[in-house]
């Protein structure tokens, strides 16, 4: 390198250090020491240097935060060590039970202390640094495998591109949470409204969606922030800390923002006092979402000794979750939606109210019985609960606030969509429209038929189906297989290429096995699991249609209710005509015999609940069954273990009550691979 280039390289290095320090002072410390004009001038100088001499451009240059080309797809990344999930404590008693379990394992220790940290309601990421330079950024994924979003994470100004350490570890991962501050979230939605774009639902989902953008430039336009809270290194790499407080201090020294409202606690009573302070006082003052406090044993050596439960939850840490967010608002109306199986589902129209950073306008009501049990009347003031990603629910009405104008609601006697008299099932809980040609059932039924868990017809979304129905091209599922490119291109916003792609996707769905078709038909009470059981037992549509009620009921996992529903469905003249049309359309009406992938889950009874990171419900069920296990829909003492994902509800709670083991997707995969 020439003397002149050496001088330019030194200047580029100086500019990188100054600009990175300025970003840290501005974004992390909120204490800028140089003006925006000074920053811009130095940034432009560095850009010019790198443009004129490409060899001066480095991975840790501030110019690399934005500007990578859009990605075709997100590649996979194996974490150095699994990103484990936390167990939950929902009250002080459960927190004390957690400490009791620790004491049982390692005994009483007056020197044992805890660190309590705010549980940020964002999206977890990992950052891999080699010799102090950021080389890979990834999402959590299933805890073992994530998706690479390096270019997107480089746009997050909080994240250092190089560790501020002259002798950094050779290789390590920093774990943390990306989030959107409340004020930035509101500002972003105002901008999207002005631009005529749909607004985001809540900060948490917005952060996750922003990181998975294929265009890093789009991520850069969203003001994501970051908090670090953990570090992981492979065997042979020594990290310079031995306690959780030292770890957090080191992260700060390296240049990472660490949430400041953390507290070292000598006793569990100190932890509990801190939790109550955060939940009832501090939480309302924060500019970002939290849903609890994470409590960790301080000593990393003790953490190692305590270990991890089933490869899923650390014994040495727990999340003390807050009570769900609750607000009071007015019940403006109770309306009814007709589902794909004809079920009439009431839902509440609410006076808009903000709960946990999200504006809530609608709430599920499940069925008529629930409305009457809770004595909900149109015009009532009601308490609405929203916990995490759970759909908003009405807890109760406030009868003391009634003024006499409230009206008792009753389920309509005729279908609100087609006017057909409604029927009740034997238990008088569900009310449904028996008209298989009901317009309400028609749209929802077609949407379900085309969905990923059923026939998986790509490009056939809700708006497209509504357009096809409005144009008179489609009335039922068999009509889909008669669509032509010429018919589609005559519709608004249908180019020839997209028309060809949709016709090809519909044609491709003809090869889906019988189990997918049965799920797509929308038979009452028949979901993915029941469809697979029926298809595997009878092997063909003809055999199932000819089976007696008793034969169907004898299938393990089916029972009388599903059997009656199946028999009733296939006894209908319109159903048989529809099946004949599907047969003539060339659909696959048989189920291939599944070959067992292994016997690692032989004898296991498994329940799957919530949304898994990478596996669909159908794929997870197939994985369990192909490895010798049996998937059921309800938790009982006969359940071997529960696979829980995001927004797992009552099944997860019942499993904990019964003391049944709970694993996440990564835990399921390890069991299948024989590593548990």
- In this structure, of 13-17, 29-33, 458-462, 612-616, the range with the lowest mean pLDDT score is 29-33
Q: Indicate the pLDDT class of residue 201, thresholds 50, 70 and 90.
A: low
The whole-model pTM stands at 0.51
Q: Indicate the pLDDT class of residue 396, thresholds 50, 70 and 90.
A: confident
Most confident of 375-384, 571-580, 611-620: 375-384
Residues 554-584 pLDDT 10s: 887 787 888 888 998 898 888 899 999 999 9
What value does the mean pLDDT take over residues 617-633? 80
Query: Which tokens in the block code for residue 374?
Result: 């809770």
CA 250/CA 518 separation, integer angstroms: 56
Query: Which tokens in the block code for residue 482?
Result: 């008669």
Domain at 439-511, CATH from 3.30.360.10, 3.30.420.40, 1.10.150.20, 1.10.3210.10: 1.10.150.20
Residues 118-138 pLDDT 10s: 999 889 999 999 999 999 999
Reply yes or no on whether the pLDDT at 115 is more than 80: yes
Q: Indicate the pLDDT class of residue 232, thresholds 50, 70 and 90.
A: very high
Please tell me the predicted confidence (pLDDT) of residue 657.
Answer: 82
Please tell me the predicted confidence (pLDDT) of residue 33.
Answer: 72
Please tell me the predicted confidence (pLDDT) of residue 70.
Answer: 47
Residues 30-43 pLDDT 10s: 566 776 567 767 87
- In this structure, of 92-101, 204-213, 219-228, 455-464, the range with the lowest mean pLDDT score is 204-213
The catalytically annotated residue of 76, 119, 194, 577 is 119
Taking the domains of the chain in order of start, what are their residue ranges?
A: 3-65, 88-321, 325-408, 439-511, 514-584, 605-672
Residues 426-458 pLDDT 10s: 555 678 887 767 877 888 889 889 987 789 898
Please tell me the predicted confidence (pLDDT) of residue 676.
Answer: 43
For the 325-408 domain, the top CATH level (class) is mainly beta
Q: Indicate the pLDDT class of residue 16, thresholds 50, 70 and 90.
A: confident
Domain at 88-321, CATH from 3.30.360.10, 3.40.50.300, 3.30.470.30, 3.30.1370.10: 3.30.470.30
Please tell me the predicted confidence (pLDDT) of residue 63.
Answer: 76
Q: Under CATH, what is the fold of the domain 3-65?
A: Helix Hairpins (1.10.287)
Active site residue 296: no
Reply yes or no on whether the pLDDT at 116 is more than 70: yes
Is residue 384 classed as helix, strand or coil in its secondary structure? Answer: strand
Is residue 621 classed as helix, strand or coil in its secondary structure? Answer: helix
Reply yes or no on whether the pLDDT at 495 is more than 60: yes
CB 112 within 8 A of CB 159: no
Q: Which residues contact 676 (CB under 8 A, 6 or more apart)?
A: 310, 311, 667, 670
Is residue 582 classed as helix, strand or coil in its secondary structure? Answer: helix
Q: Under CATH, what is the fold of the domain 605-672?
A: Rossmann fold (3.40.50)
- Say how many residues make up the chain: 676
Q: Which residues contact 318 (CB under 8 A, 6 or more apart)?
A: 86, 87, 88, 89, 95, 98, 294, 295
Higher-confidence position of 410 and 75: 410
Please tell me the predicted confidence (pLDDT) of residue 388.
Answer: 47
Residues 19-68 pLDDT 10s: 888 877 655 555 667 765 677 678 778 888 887 888 888 877 877 665 44
Please tell me the predicted confidence (pLDDT) of residue 525.
Answer: 81
Fold match between 439-511 and 514-584?
yes
Please tell me the predicted confidence (pLDDT) of residue 68.
Answer: 47
What value does the mean pLDDT take over residues 616-622? 75
Please tell me the predicted confidence (pLDDT) of residue 43.
Answer: 78
Residues 268-300 pLDDT 10s: 999 999 999 998 889 878 888 888 999 999 999
For the 514-584 domain, the top CATH level (class) is mainly alpha
CA 59/CA 623 separation, integer angstroms: 40
């Amino acid at each position: 390198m020439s003397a002149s280039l050496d001088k330019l390289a030194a200047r580029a290095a100086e500019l990188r250090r100054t600009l990175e320090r300025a970003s840290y002072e501005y974004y992390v410390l909120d204490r800028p020491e140089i003006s925006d004009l000074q920053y811009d001038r130095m940034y432009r100088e560095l850009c010019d240097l790198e443009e004129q001499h490409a060899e001066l451009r480095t991975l840790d240059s501030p110019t690399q935060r934005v500007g990578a080309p859009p990605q075709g797809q997100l590649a996979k990344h194996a974490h150095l060590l699994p990103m484990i999930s936390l167990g939950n404590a929902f009250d002080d008693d459960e927190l004390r039970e957690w400490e009791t379990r620790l004491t049982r394992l390692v005994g009483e220790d007056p020197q044992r202390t805890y660190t309590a940290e705010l549980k940020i309601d964002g999206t977890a990421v990992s950052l891999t640094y080699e010799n102090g330079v950021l080389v890979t950024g990834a999402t959590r994924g299933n805890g073992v495998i994530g998706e690479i979003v390096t270019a997107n994470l480089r746009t997050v100004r909080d994240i250092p591109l190089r560790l501020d350490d002259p002798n950094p570890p050779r290789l390590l991962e920093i774990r943390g949470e990306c989030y959107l501050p409340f004020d930035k979230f509101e500002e972003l939605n105002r901008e999207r409204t002005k631009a005529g774009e749909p607004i985001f639902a809540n900060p948490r989902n917005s952060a996750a969606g922003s990181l998975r953008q294929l265009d890093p430039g789009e991520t850069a336009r969203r003001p994501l922030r970051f908090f670090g809270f953990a570090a992981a290194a492979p065997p042979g790499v020594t990290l310079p800390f031995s306690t959780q407080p030292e770890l957090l201090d080191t992260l700060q020294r390296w240049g990472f923002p660490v949430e400041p409202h953390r507290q070292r606690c000598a006793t569990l009573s100190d932890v509990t006092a801190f939790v109550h302070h955060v939940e009832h006082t501090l939480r309302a003052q924060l500019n970002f979402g939290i849903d609890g406090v994470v409590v960790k044993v301080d000593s990393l050596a003790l953490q190692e000794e305590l270990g991890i439960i089933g490869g899923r939850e650390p014994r040495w840490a727990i999340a003390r979750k807050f009570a769900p967010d609750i607000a009071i608002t007015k019940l403006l109306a109770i309306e009814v939606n007709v589902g794909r199986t004809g079920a009439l589902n009431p839902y509440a129209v609410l006076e808009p109210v903000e709960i946990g950073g999200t504006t809530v306008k609608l709430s599920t009501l499940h069925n008529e019985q629930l409305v009457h049990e809770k004595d909900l009347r149109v015009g009532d003031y009601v308490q609405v609960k929203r916990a995490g990603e759970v759909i908003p629910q009405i807890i109760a009405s406030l009868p003391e606030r009634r003024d006499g104008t409230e009206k008792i609601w009753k389920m309509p006697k005729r279908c609100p969509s087609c006017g057909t008299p409604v029927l009740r099932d034997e238990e008088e809980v569900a009310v449904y429209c028996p008209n298989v040609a009901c317009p309400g059932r028609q749209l929802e039924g077609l949407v379900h038929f085309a969905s990923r868990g059923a026939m998986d017809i790509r490009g056939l979304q809700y708006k497209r189906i509504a357009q096809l129905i409005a144009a008179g091209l489609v009335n039922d599922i068999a009509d889909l297989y008669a669509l032509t490119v010429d018919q589609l291109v005559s519709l608004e916003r249908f180019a020839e290429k997209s028309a060809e792609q949709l016709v090809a996707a519909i044609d491709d769905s003809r090869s889906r096995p019988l189990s997918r078709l049965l799920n797509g038909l929308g038979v009452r009470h028949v979901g993915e699991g029941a469809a697979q059981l029926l298809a595997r037992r009878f092997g063909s549509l003809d055999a199932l249609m000819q089976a007696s009620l008793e034969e169907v009921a004898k299938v393990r996992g089916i029972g009388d209710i599903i059997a009656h529903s199946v028999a009733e469905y296939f006894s209908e003249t319109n159903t048989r005509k529809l099946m004949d049309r599907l047969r003539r359309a060339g659909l696959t009406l048989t189920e291939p015999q599944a070959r067992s992938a292994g016997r690692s889950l032989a004898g296991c009874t498994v329940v799957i609940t919530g949304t898994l990171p990478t596996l669909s419900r159908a794929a997870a069920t197939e994985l369990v069954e192909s490895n010798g296990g049996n998937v059921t829909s309800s938790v009982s003492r006969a359940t071997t273990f529960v696979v829980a994902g995001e927004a797992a509800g009552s099944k997860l709670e019942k499993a904990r009550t019964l003391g049944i083991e709970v694993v996440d997707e990564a835990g399921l995969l390890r069991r299948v691979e024989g590593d548990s």
